[in-house]
Structure 1
Amino acid sequence: MAARIFLYLIATAIFLVLLAGVAWTLFQDELLEMALVPGEAIEMLEEVPDQAYANRAMWLIRPDIENPASDWLPEGFGEEEEVTDAEETGITPAPAPVATDDDQPRIPVFYVLPTTYLDRDRWNAPLNSPAARPRQELFAASQASVFNEIGEVWAPLYRQAVIGAFLTDHRNAEVALRFAYQDVEAAFDYFLTQIDDDQPFILAGHSQGGLHLATLLHERIAGTPAADRIVAAYVIGWPISVEADLPALPLNACAEPESSNCIIAFQSFAEPADPHQITRIYDESTGYTGASRRDTAMLCVNPLTGSRNGEAAADANLGAVVPNEDMNNASLTRGLIPARCNDQGLLLVGQPPEAFGRYVLPGNNYHVFDFLLFWSNLRDDAARRVSAYQVAVQ
């Protein structure tokens, strides 16, 4: 009798798991919206006061903050033999970093964080959230570290829209994103006052940070001398329509590895890719040109080749940053991830890579790992574009 009850409980558990899987497949958009989209009324935020970003407390990273997260380097970086299970896989370690001339001028980097506030109790996160802070440090370490050889990183805190704002077309989401953008613009204006008037710089951001950078390019930088000073803009993890957005931005896409004063953008998916959570809002939106984004290709600059579109095998990957099980450190592994841009503008990385099983979003979306999958290539890419920019302006 006891065995029969046990088998019944097992059968019931299996049925519930299968039922949950079917429900998730059929209603994942609705379930995500219920779980993450705020039910509260939106708070009307005041603009930050003039010179608010002169306060060091308004920044996660800037040159006068000691031990910034952006100084982090993965295990095995620059070593001849990597501290990973590379011997078992037959993967050779990543190479040493690109050497830079000690006399080469430092290039400041304005880096905008992705979404790190995951609660649904409000539409805009507070400037300082104890819950979000570890995630901010983690993303800054894994993403902004790409640029720590080039120059000093500036990363503002801002009242970012919460994650649920990206899962709904509710008017509150648009308002929340606008509030967040205003903080980023204020931080950028202060950043410009702290570097030389003719000094080149790099823009970098991911996800929500990429969105705010694209808006910054369109609304604040286009038509100003600052546009010519941009070495490159890394607008990663945010869809930029080739037809409806790019013509209204002050920079072209990075067509070649040696291009500068241009935009790098991509979104990583394993195959089979299902981007409907992106396209369902993308297709209903209007681009910076005023035209609809529906059925338009997204900009894809392949980080393995440095060129627009194209394809590269895994052996072109100079080093992916592979997180450990606790997600508190990571090591560098070469030759792990291929990449090709498809006709839709998605960056496809082949079959789901085993080392990145956690935090993969629905549809085989490797959004969280956009920087990590191509860390060494992006690091080399930045150094190469700095050199190309300096040659171009001589």
Structure 2
Amino acid sequence: MKRVASSILVALVVVAALGSVVSLGFSQSEETNIDYSDESHWLSLPESIDKPVDVFYVYPTAWHKINQNEPDICRIDNITMLEGASRVFETQATAFETVGNIFAPYYRQADAAVCLSLSLEDQNAMLSGAPKQDLFDALDYYFENYNEGRPFILAGHSQGSNMLLFVLSEYMDSHPDLYERMIAAYVIGYSVTDEYLSDNPHLRFAEGAGDTGVIISYNTEAPGIQADNPVLLENANVINPISWVRDETTAPASESMGSSIDGVYTEHFADATIDLERGVLVCSTADIEKFSSNNGLFPSGVYHSQDYPFYYYDIRANAELRAANFLGLSGLEASSDLSGDLQEAL
């Protein structure tokens, strides 16, 4: 995997530590489109295309305003965002590294505290500006120059998943030929509501472990949380990432493929139960004090930052299974690594 901005990022951090202000090649003004032919505007580009499937990953909020004089949407060269996006890539996007070639663009993103304080209509208006423009431009460049007709998975988290809702409802609706190649969309850490699906009849929510062309979504909390969760919307759809059912049957931790706690494989850590009334995924086996987001935006007991780590290897195995089904590789079952089977079968 080629992490294309690593040397630029190191230089930016060093210069920032010296108190200098430079852009080191990031010269775009906020009024111009981002040039995605410039590899420095990609968080991840594969060094080689060695898998039959691509993954297009959109990272969550990796930046916040340090002072109120900053704009509500950051620059594409913001050092905090570059660092944060790289860190979260390791905890989330790498879940898909066994199944696909991972592409991940940088994009100008909104300050989460500001955005989530707005009405839903105003949130959508804010994200429909530079963030959506960047993501759609990146998709245009990706499909025209990198994809070469391969089926693909969309994956995101939090603000990244919110942006994927625009991709699914607008970009894919305008490009039905591309949408036919979508294996699945992992819209994790944000709500996919009944109303959203009703407004977009070309979209379908997942019903099981192996269906394709579908959306997967959940938001993880501790049992009994009543406080407001800013990414949880009314009538949110949920699927259990261990058992891949949509009812309230508990999937015990013993059935999980494994978690990634602080980057370390952890067996039988997280269980999963859907709370249909609240529209969330409940994990009863984690320590609330240790795993709550506790970043000022989420109440105690909301495991927002753990949506991927708790079910990391379940997501990996599921993506491999859906890819195998999409490619028509009958007889393959989800495992810890299907990538070799996928390539051999092709």
TM-score tier (shorter): 0.7 to 0.9
Bigger radius of gyration: 1
Identity of aligned residues (%): 24
Q: Residue in 1 aligned with 2:316?
A: 379
Query: Is 1:220 equivalent to 2:206 in the alignment?
Result: no
With over 3 angstroms needed to count, the CA separation of the structure-2 counterparts of 1:134 and 1:358, relative to structure 1, is farther
Who is 1:333 aligned against?
266
Aligned to 1:140: 89
Of 188, 191, 194, the match for 1:242: 194
Report the Cα offset of residue 392 of structure 1. Answer: 8.5
Counterpart of 1:321 in structure 2: which amino acid?
Answer: S
Measured after TM superposition, the shift of residue 253 of structure 1 is 1.2
Q: Deviations over 1:217-247 (max 9, x none)?
A: 1011025111110011000001110244355
Aligned pair partner of 2:62 in 76, 101, 116: 116
TM-score (norm 1): 0.68
C-alpha distance in 2, partners of 1:246/1:373? 30
Match of 1:301 in 2: 239
Answer yes or no: is the 8 Å Cα contact 2:223–2:283 preserved in 1.
yes
- What is the CA-CA distance between 1:351 and the residue it aligns to? 5.2
Name the residue aligned to 2:150: 199
Q: Which residue of 1 aligns with 2:4?
A: none
CA distance in 1, matches of 2:237, 2:247: 8
Matches of 1:140 and 1:260, distance apart in 2: 24
Cα 1:269–1:168 change in 2 (3 A) is same
Between the aligned partners of 1:379 and 1:246, the Cα distance in structure 2 is 29
**Which residue does the alignment assign to 1:162?**
111
Give the Cα separation in 2 of the matches to 1:388 and 1:335: 27
Give the CA deviation at 1:133.
2.5
Q: Distance in 2 between matches of 1:54 and 1:257?
A: 36
How many pairs were matched up? Answer: 291
Is 1:254 the counterpart of 2:206 in the alignment? yes
Q: Is 2:240–2:281's contact at 8 Å kept on the other side of the alignment?
A: yes
Q: CA deviation at 1:375?
A: 0.4
Matching residue within 234, 240, 260 for 1:321: 260
- What SS does the corresponding residue of 2:230 show, helix, strand or coil? helix
Shift of residue 172 of structure 1?
6.5
For the residues of structure 2 that align with 1:167 and 1:355, how far apart are their CA atoms?
24
Q: How far 1:196 sits from its partner (Å)?
A: 4.9
Distance 1:246 1:375, change over 3 A: farther
Partner of 1:90: none
SS in 2 for 1:278: coil
Residue ranges of structure 2 left out of the alignment (5+ in a row): 1-28, 331-345
Task: Give the RMSD, CA atoms, in angstroms.
Answer: 2.6
Match among 35, 39, 47 for residue 56 of structure 1: 39
What amino acid maps onto 1:200 in structure 2? Answer: P
Runs of 4+ in 1 over 6 A off after TM superposition: none
> 1: distance between equivalents of 2:254 and 2:94?
23
Which residue of 123, 126, 131 maps to 1:176?
A: 126
Q: What are the superposed Cα offsets for residues 87-114 of structure 1, whole Å, 9 maximum, x if unpaired?
A: xxxxxxxxxxxxxxxxx95211100010
